[in-house]
Amino acid sequence: MILRMLSTTLLPVAVLTSGCARHIGKPDVPAPARVERSYTIQRDQLFTPPNWPKSLLADVYVPNGEPPAGGRWPAVLVIHGGAWSSGDRKQVEGIAARVAKRGYVAVNVTYRLAPDSIFPAQIVDVQQAVRWLRGNAERYKVDPARIGAWGYSAGAHLAALLGGIGPGDRLYREDARVSVVIAGGIPSDLRKFHGGTIVPKFLGETWTEQSVAFRESSPAAYVSAGDPPVFLYHGSWDTLVPFDQATDYKAALDAAGVPNELYVLRGLGHILTFLMDGAAVQRGADFLDRHLRDR
């Protein structure tokens, strides 16, 4: 109800800003041909083993009918935001539905929340979701080599970690990496948050230059050549997660030669970007089609 009221209140602002977007790195080629499929939702699927610290559930959106010629669906892990301390699957049901309509198995996941569980619990949880999905590839007719991740805010941060953590990193799990990342409103470098309460509550400590947790929790710290393609979207007036979290991350991706795009929603802040993200989600789905569906 609150989100609905807020959306109605801010609609005039969204109309005024709807034409104020900039797509940096937009490809010259036309967008891939879209598909439109119906889908079935399998709710409350347990994806953690019996010995996990907390039982965690996911909703799995499966396109109806048979997969395309390859015989397997590509898949996308969908990860909610909420400052790592709140939120649930309902927040990103719209994204999961749009992804499923495009012909992907969408897995809308949960994870342990701070402060009861601090980093790296959250990334370990979503890594387990990817491993579970690969372990159930036959059941859902998923191609285990074509799994992406999509998140907003804290969910974007976790999606980027899934793509960025690589061999040699302490948190790397060989069967948990993804092939494409879609990240909206991303806190990409937690080392820049020297104050406040959100990040310290998530990490269980305050910032210091020597902090291992601040470095290991920052997607920007993992950027390297060979990382999966990344699509970013961010509000230019975002004060909760400053805009330079997106632009500096893009610069790092560019320097490493990682394919990426940045869709800038001018004049929008963090919450309004999430509520009025239709054009960004459409372009993110096009990015998925180019780098995951049609691969």
What is the C-alpha separation between 80 and 125, in angstroms, rounded?
Answer: 13
Two structure tokens written together for 253: 């991706």
One-letter-per-residue 3-state SS of 95-121: HHHHHHHCCCEEEEECCCCCCCCCCCH
Per-residue pLDDT averaged across 227-236, rounded?
Answer: 98
Residue 42 phi, psi (nearest 5) = -105, 105
Question: Domain 2-293: which topology?
Answer: Rossmann fold (3.40.50)
**Residues 243-262: tens digit of each pLDDT:** 999 999 999 999 999 999 99
The first and second tokens of residue 178, run together, are 């993804």
| pLDDT at residue number 294 | 84
- Torsions phi, psi for 260 (to 5 deg): -160, 160
Report yes or no: 91 and 82 within 8 Å, Cβ to Cβ: yes
- pLDDT above 70 (res 46): yes
> Strand pairing of 57-63 and 260-265?
unpaired
Q: Is the pLDDT of residue 10 over 80?
A: no
Neighbour-count burial of 163, counting CB atoms closer than 10 A to its CB (0-12 exposed, 13-18 middle, 19+ buried):
buried
How much is the pLDDT for 56? 98
Q: What pLDDT, on the 0 to 100 scale, is given for residue 35? A: 84
Q: Which token pair is 34?
A: 């879209």
Alpha helices, H only, 29-92: none
25-39, 120-134, 247-261 — which is least confidently predicted? Answer: 25-39
Cα-Cα end-to-end distance for the chain: 40
Q: Evaluate if residue 269 carries a pLDDT over 80.
A: yes
Q: Look at residue 11 in the predicted model and tell me its pLDDT.
A: 39
pLDDT for the residue numbered 19: 56
Q: Is 90 exposed, middle or buried (0-12, 13-18, 19+ CB in 10 A)?
A: exposed
Q: H helices then E strands: how many in the chain?
A: 10, 9
Which pTM value belongs to this model? 0.93
* Burial track 212-232 (b if 16+ CB lie within 10 A, e otherwise): ebbebbbbbbbbeeebbbbbb
DSSP letter string, 181-212: EEEES----GGG--SSSHHHHHHTS---TT-H
Query: Are 207 and 191 contacting, i.e. CB atoms less than 8 angstroms apart?
Result: yes
Give, as one character, the DSSP assignment of residue 49. -
Taking the domains of the chain in order of start, what are their residue ranges? 2-293
* DSSP structural state of residue 239: T
pLDDT digits (tens, 9 = 90+) for 271-284: 999 999 999 999 99
User: Which two tokens mark 155?
Assistant: 């969910």
Question: At how many degrees (to 10) do helices 93-101 and 278-288 cross?
Answer: 40
Residue carrying the six token digits 């909206």: 184
